[in-house]
Amino acid sequence: MDTQAEIEDFILNGHLRYVPHVSIDCAIFGYHEQQLKVLLIKHKYIEGWCLPGGYIKRTETLVQAANRNVMERTGINNLFLQQFKAFGDPGRARINEFDEEKWFRVTGVRVTKNNWLIDQTISIGFYAITDFSRSVPKPDMMSEDCAWFDIDNLPKLEFDHDEMVKEALHTMRVQLYHYPIGYNLLPEKFTLTEIHALYETLLGKKLDISNFPKKLMALGLLKKLNEKRSIGPHRSPHLYVFDKDAYDKALKEGVVLS
């Protein structure tokens, strides 16, 4: 939404083009050099920070809606967004706090409690992981700000978005052993030290380096190449790649072990 007329039309007539009562929120994780971050935005009409999200057009699929909302709100495109959970506790949308005057001040549009945006909403959570050094977010017209935050230093988020980040992180950590999540975060060929650092950062804990490669290879994630990287005198560690074919096959069959 780029103009005041578009915002007004969305608020007053949006229920004709969007599915009411359902929204989408996206936890976008960013990795770079052993740092893990989350992308947050600050709406003009909400006090604190929250996850980027929005509504679903009546003509789009859920994942299309997730991609469009992230693109519109943050300018970031081409993410591999995955659903992780729907959130629907009564009271999560805080509709009791609706303040007609404040809405008017911020949006320039006068609405009543009957407006489609004020009613109870169930939100579908998506997550993605990207390299934050290559993704510079830009806030849209409805937002004051949009920025990457360290996972260990998040502000208190609005609504139930603290829980959403926690659940997204949990899902990402479990799926780390089933999906090629690290695929775009490492060079095509990488050393054990590199993937070990990535997994430690994503999991938020130390991993025993002597057992680590054995376990990853037992799960069919890694392939050891007959190739080394020369990084100095007497230092030429073996190179590894993700075994993406094995992954794709395992995913299609719904199982990792054989």
Binding site for its own copies (CB under 8 A): 19-22, 56, 58-62, 65, 83, 85-90, 120, 122, 124, 169-170, 173-174, 176-178, 203, 205, 207-208, 215, 218, 253-258
Of 32 and 92, nearer to its own copies (C-beta) is 92
Least spacing, CB of residue 59 vs its own copies, in Å: 5
Least spacing, CB of residue 125 vs its own copies, in Å: 9
Least spacing, CB of residue 51 vs its own copies, in Å: 16
198: phi then psi, degrees, rounded to nearest 5: -60, -50
Of 141 and 174, nearer to its own copies (C-beta) is 174
Least spacing, CB of residue 139 vs its own copies, in Å: 27
Of 178 and 229, nearer to its own copies (C-beta) is 178
Of 81 and 146, nearer to its own copies (C-beta) is 81
Is residue 203 within 8 Å of 173, Cβ to Cβ?
yes
User: In angstroms, rounded to a whole number, what is the distance separating the alpha carbons of residues 153 and 40?
Assistant: 12
Residue 75 CB neighbour total at 10 angstroms: 14
Which residues fall within 8 angstroms of residue 152, CB to CB, at 6 or more apart?
A: none
Start-end of H helices in the chain: 4-13, 62-74, 100-107, 161-175, 192-203, 212-218, 244-253
